A and B are shown apart, each in its own frame.
Chain A
Amino acid sequence: MIAIIDYKAGNLTSVKLAVKKVGAEAVITSDPIVIKSAERIIFPGVGAAGAAMDNLRALGLDSLVKEEIASGKPFLGICVGLQVLFEMSEEDGDTECLGIVPGQVKLFKAAPPETKVPQMGWNSVNFIGEHPLIEGVRNNSYFYFVHSYYPAPSDSSYTLGETTYADVTFSSMIFKDNLVASQFHLEKSGKVGLKILENFCKWDGKC
């Protein structure tokens, strides 16, 4: 069973539907007992990093997320669920985040009307190297993005995929041991997104 962590950071319906589509069982939960008993964890999220961190702390899930990642359980972050894994986000006046992945989350520079912020739509991901989660996914496939802030790991060895927007090439997918996270919405990215979700549902957490 997969636990989709609910920390009042957006709508989780589509994540659950996509997991069901690839043949796995998932529950949407904020219950620590359910999360601890799950075989794997999906950590989604939309909205602002500051509110997301406030909610995580209020629900007592910040330390639980760290413990679950440390336990070696397969863990998948999506969008804001990726951003709060970093040390700090520029959003909401420098929000201190979970600090699991070294680095920061930074704001895109808008240059309207050509370059609008947020980035909203389909952009390509250049995968760097091999990983069980991207097996069967063509390089430079397109995924669906909605975000104003982008992850900037301090060590490029965490980067699994790169995307270019607003004159920045950023890490749109990262990995660290049993943890993988995407800035793009796997649940809204059609067949390639479903393929990565399917790979995650079979993954043993080892690279």
Chain B
Amino acid sequence: MLTKRIIPCLDIRDKKVTKGVKFKNNVILGDPVEMAIKYYEAGCDELVFYDITASAEGRPIDIDMVKAVAANIYIPFAVGGGISSLKDMEMALLAGAEKVSVNSLAISNPSIIGEGSKAFGAQCIVLGMDPIKTKNLGKCPSGYEITRRGGREFTGIDALEWVKRAEDLGVGEIVVNSVDADGTRQGCELELTKMISENVNVPVVASGGVGCSQHMVDVFTYSHADAVIIAGMIHTGDYTIEQIKAELSAMGVAVRL
């Protein structure tokens, strides 16, 4: 049967992997290619790389890094950050990425989703989004509002309307990164993930808040998420991929062993 995917996320700043809490207080963890190889060897199902300073610095994604990753791991990986045009998408895909992730670009220019999907195939185009619990229920009746810059700017866009629109435009996958849960290691935002995953017919990746294997079991049993993004719990060495997969399997989640 199709297994649930476990996807380590590597946030890249100044060519190094970093990790923050609620998008702040980043610390340096290591070299992206070395860490990618380690997680690949350990049996992760996919990887995602966010070049988190590319947009702020007004430069495209670090293509040399994408090429170096592609030459060393033979599983799918997605890249995001610094994707500002179809040309940027093409460069990343030709460098060997399986998928490109757009977030703030899609907010300012939603048609990029359809253009990318048509040019490269829907399976390549991932929508990343950073929803937060909102009191702005007039504009956001689902209770969740899309933010930019990891929760620092509010958009007034309803999270549920946004994913339905993205699906209509031809997106291939949706990463739901809860701003409230990010970096807390207290578990995923289950209601949010459930709501999104029940209302779209593309794969949904739960992100933010995963601190132990039980949190993954919770999100896979409570929602229809297809995959989960993990970061801090493995970057710190508290858990290994092998251990997570063994625990998930023992708890009845179908994973690739």
The interface of chain A, by Cβ under 8 A from chain B, is: 10-11, 13-14, 17-18, 21, 46-47, 110, 112-114, 116-124, 142, 144-146, 164-165, 185, 187-191, 193-194
What is the CB-to-nearest-CB distance from B89 to chain A, in angstroms, rounded to a whole number? Answer: 11
Which of chain A's residues have a CB closer than 8 A to the CB of B5? 121-122
User: Would you call B162 an interface residue if the criterion is a C-beta within 8 Å of the partner chain's C-beta atoms?
Assistant: no
Which of chain B's residues have a CB closer than 8 A to the CB of A191? 74
Contact B70 A13 (CB under 8 A): yes
Answer whether A123 and B201 are a contact pair too, CB < 8 Å, given A13-B95, A190-B74.
Answer: no
Chain B interface size, as a band, is 35 or more
Contact A142 B201 (CB under 8 A): no
User: Would you call B2 an interface residue if the criterion is a C-beta within 8 Å of the partner chain's C-beta atoms?
Assistant: yes
Question: Which of B4, B76, B173, B224 is the one whose CB lies under 8 Å from A188?
Answer: B76
List the count of A-B residue pairs having beta carbons below 8 Å apart.
Answer: 89
Contact B45 A11 (CB under 8 A): no
Answer whether A13 and B94 are a contact pair too, CB < 8 Å, given A122-B256, A188-B75.
Answer: yes
User: Would you call B211 an interface residue if the criterion is a C-beta within 8 Å of the partner chain's C-beta atoms?
Assistant: no
Which of chain A's residues have a CB closer than 8 A to the CB of B198? 113
Question: Which of B2, B75, B172 is the one whose CB lies under 8 Å from A123?
Answer: B2
What is the CB-to-nearest-CB distance from B252 to chain A, in angstroms, rounded to a whole number? Answer: 16
Which of chain A's residues have a CB closer than 8 A to the CB of B134? none
Bound-state CA distance A185–B197 (Å) is 26
What is the CB-to-nearest-CB distance from A102 to chain B, in angstroms, rounded to a whole number? Answer: 28
Which of chain B's residues have a CB closer than 8 A to the CB of A46? 121, 123
Contact B201 A116 (CB under 8 A): yes
* Top 10 A-B pairs, shortest CB-CB distance: A113-B224, A142-B256, A112-B201, A122-B256, A13-B96, A146-B123, A123-B2, A113-B198, A122-B3, A188-B76
